[in-house]
Chains A and B, each alone.
Chain A
């Protein structure tokens, strides 16, 4: 009887250790982000650009996770593909989507008026914001976020095109650059990373 009791306790102990081990691993292992992670000690570069509804500052969205995307409304393929993927990300986030704000910054300020940008981005999601500004203001913001862009010739139908970096920069709720999603990151991966940032 005494041997049975000891065996029982040891069995309980073994199970407890396995459960504890699993819990500790699940709780304390570093989350493996799908995007490229940064641990910047400086807050993200703040800017003020124009939307159809007035000036927009990055710092206005402190408390939300901000996705910065540089594109333009005449963009034939890369921009709509990316924005559709972010739209799907918002759907996957469900109720958490209202903690996420996408801001598209135009790299074609000559053609993208604030009104045209608003109509374009809201086709993908009603919460998306499109902003533009002077050539110098856009260049300054793009420089700070590692974005290259340059006009090149298109066809008579498309007009000129703009080559540009197609990454999405993620700024956490405290205003620090936290992640970069390369072009083509699936919505499921973005949603998982954003959900983690919202919860932590």
Chain B
């Protein structure tokens, strides 16, 4: 009968280990991920060289989208300095994973490709990383920026623009993985750069047995702050 008791204890121990392992995974979060928020919108835009740029061109690349207009005063609510920092550090963080910044103008009446190209040069954008673009049709632009990216902007009757700074991080499968709308204790720039690192780790480990750990992290909502 002693042996029988050992078997029962063994079964209890087994379930105990499983439960402790699951709780430890959730509490200590050895693997963190970014949520798979929703599908990123489909689009066709015109870039600073007058060439079409589409969401299909961005497939397979990690892309940070942001919104601005060239007449926006100064640093445009911090958008330009944030993207300059992301341009400087993002490609190094991503390593061999293709990375792009797409900055979309919400003021197509003024921001022609020539204006965008001049602005890109002024802020030191590297064309292989940082693309400037817009959609000439204001209705389609509103559909994309407001409806697809959930970013707020409004063209006033006098032609001036109201804009809330907004950044959207999209993975190579066309899925939104991060949205940066509100300031927190950590700056937007810090959070974006940290999240690029988290996403790069997940992409590098998305094959083989490590993939299971990442899927478990999604299942248990182990999201990076």
Interface size range of chain A in the complex: 35 or more
**Residue of A whose beta carbon sits closest to that of B171:** A36
Q: Is the CB of A148 within 8 A of B44?
A: yes
Interface size range of chain B in the complex: 35 or more
Scan A37-49; emit 1 where CB is below 8 A from any B CB, else 0.
1111110000000
Nearest CB on A from B67, distance (A): 15
CB-defined contacts of B40 to chain A, threshold 8 Å: 146
Assembled-state Cα–Cα distance A41/B37 (Å)? 7
Asked if A6 CB lies within 8 Å of chain B CBs, one says yes
Scan B1-31; emit 1 where CB is below 8 A from any A CB, else 0.
0111011001100100010000000000000
Scan B200-224; emit 1 where CB is below 8 A from any A CB, else 0.
0000000000011001101100000
Asked if B143 CB lies within 8 Å of chain A CBs, one says yes
Asked if A12 CB lies within 8 Å of chain B CBs, one says yes
Q: Is the CB of A143 within 8 A of B14?
A: no
Which of B148, B174, B211 contacts A144, CB < 8 Å?
Answer: B148
Q: Is the CB of B44 within 8 A of A39?
A: no
Assembled-state Cα–Cα distance A136/B219 (Å)? 37
Q: Is the CB of A42 within 8 A of B144?
A: no
Scan B139-159; emit 1 where CB is below 8 A from any A CB, else 0.
110011001100000000000
Asked if A9 CB lies within 8 Å of chain B CBs, one says yes
Nearest CB on B from A141, distance (A): 10
Q: Is the CB of B39 within 8 A of A39?
A: no
Q: Is the CB of A143 within 8 A of B41?
A: yes
- Residues 124-168 of A contacting B (Cβ, < 8 Å): 136, 139-140, 142-150, 165
From known contacts A13-B7, A143-B42, A144-B41, infer whether A39 and B36 are also in contact, taking CB-CB under 8 Å: yes
12 more contacts with CB within 8 A, not counting A9-B4, A40-B36, A147-B42, are A10-B6, A13-B3, A13-B7, A16-B11, A30-B212, A38-B37, A38-B38, A142-B42, A143-B41, A148-B44, A148-B56, A177-B38
